[in-house]
Structure 1
């Protein structure tokens, strides 16, 4: 069983310090990030048809846009259901920043951490962080070596699951990450992978197929609830908060 660490800290971007960060909940929950929300049994992989719903790439209106300039807290007097998290009122889209990190990448004793970051207007200028240790087994109990790619992909999957975004009143989730593997894999490469039976080339199977199929199941699940998902490739500098917390998760067992 792997537990989360939930933290709250002042919303900051590249170059800011940790002076006001404080943990509000660390290791006090027994919820497992390995739960597959598409099936009541977390260790029973839901056999949905891969590729029914594909995510799209998020294209910012201006090439100079940053998460901070484009997505600002919506402070409406009458928010929809619950307050939208980190939203752009003109786009009706919600932002989550994700990242993964791995120590001794790919080695048998590698440690990898995952994190995602979001903000609530009611807590502004504070943000919420969810971070956890990457598992070494999949939903079928098969072993996988921990890698940075798996950590980045796993963070993107879990960002779709917790909290229950369907109550927030938006119609599009934008997952921002500095991982080209996640963004291009989810929006471009995966089409050919599925077409070729999950082979990149003869004798070269797609890595992390279990997680890619899990991601597609999450796309299907959210689509049925009226939420689409878009992926935004940003620089590591702009993803500094998620990057920092993914490294914290990788350095210690939470």
Structure 2
């Protein structure tokens, strides 16, 4: 399997409000930057969207190290929240409907062909590729 390193980020000018997402995919010396935005969204939706779109970009099954500054995204998989959500009919531990279910389902599906290792990176801490994603996500916010 090819080994791909991915950095993702999401941004909102208000929360909710217009938002942007971005990802940087690195394979060897090759670097691909992708981004997009929505007129009305939340920061969390943009964080998940960045991961979904990054994985959908891959053309074959890969070993992926996905870096995100979103504890929400990373913890969902590190702590396997999604397993209980699915078991409980997409209800959280309080019995409430899981927010962003559509995107969680899309992310689970996008991860399926790959071996994905989620890594938490500290946001706005000088991590070059995370800073680049932040820049791209902010630039993608619709005006």
Check whether TM > 0.5. Answer: yes
Q: In the alignment, is residue 146 of structure 1 matched against residue 53 of structure 2? A: no
* Structure 1 runs not aligned, ≥5 long: 1-79, 85-92, 137-144
CA 1:192–1:131: 2 relative to 1, 3 Å: same
Aligned-CA RMSD value: 2.1
Structure 1 residue 228, shift from structure 2 partner? 0.9
Match of 1:234 among 113, 121, 136: 121
Structure 1 residue 198, shift from structure 2 partner? 1.0
What is the aligned partner in structure 2 of residue 216 from structure 1? 108
What is the aligned partner in structure 1 of residue 85 from structure 2? 193
CA 1:206–1:122: 2 relative to 1, 3 Å: closer
Asked whether the equivalents of residues 9 and 21 of structure 2 are also in contact (C-alpha less than 8 Å), the reply is: yes
Match of 1:207 among 83, 99, 123: 99
Structure 1 residue 122, shift from structure 2 partner? 4.8
What is the aligned partner in structure 1 of residue 71 from structure 2? 180
Q: In the alignment, is residue 114 of structure 1 matched against residue 21 of structure 2? A: yes
Q: In the alignment, is residue 133 of structure 1 matched against residue 37 of structure 2? A: yes
Higher RCO, 1 or 2 (CA under 8 Å, sep at least 6)? Answer: 2
Q: In the aligned structure 1, how far is the partner of 2:75 from the partner of 2:69?
A: 11
The structure having more radius of gyration, on CA atoms, is: 1
Q: Which runs of 4+ in 1 moved over 4 A?
A: 120-123
Structure 1 residue 118, shift from structure 2 partner? 2.4
The secondary structure found in structure 2 opposite 1:218 is helix
What is the aligned partner in structure 2 of residue 58 from structure 1? none
Q: In the aligned structure 2, how far is the partner of 1:240 from the partner of 1:213?
A: 27
Asked whether the equivalents of residues 19 and 43 of structure 2 are also in contact (C-alpha less than 8 Å), the reply is: yes
Structure 1 residue 103, shift from structure 2 partner? 1.4
Q: In the alignment, is residue 105 of structure 1 matched against residue 105 of structure 2? A: no
Q: In the aligned structure 2, how far is the partner of 1:148 from the partner of 1:242?
A: 14
| Higher helix residue share | 2
| Higher strand residue share | 2
TM-score scaled by structure 1? Answer: 0.49
* Structure 2 runs not aligned, ≥5 long: none
CA 1:128–1:192: 2 relative to 1, 3 Å: same
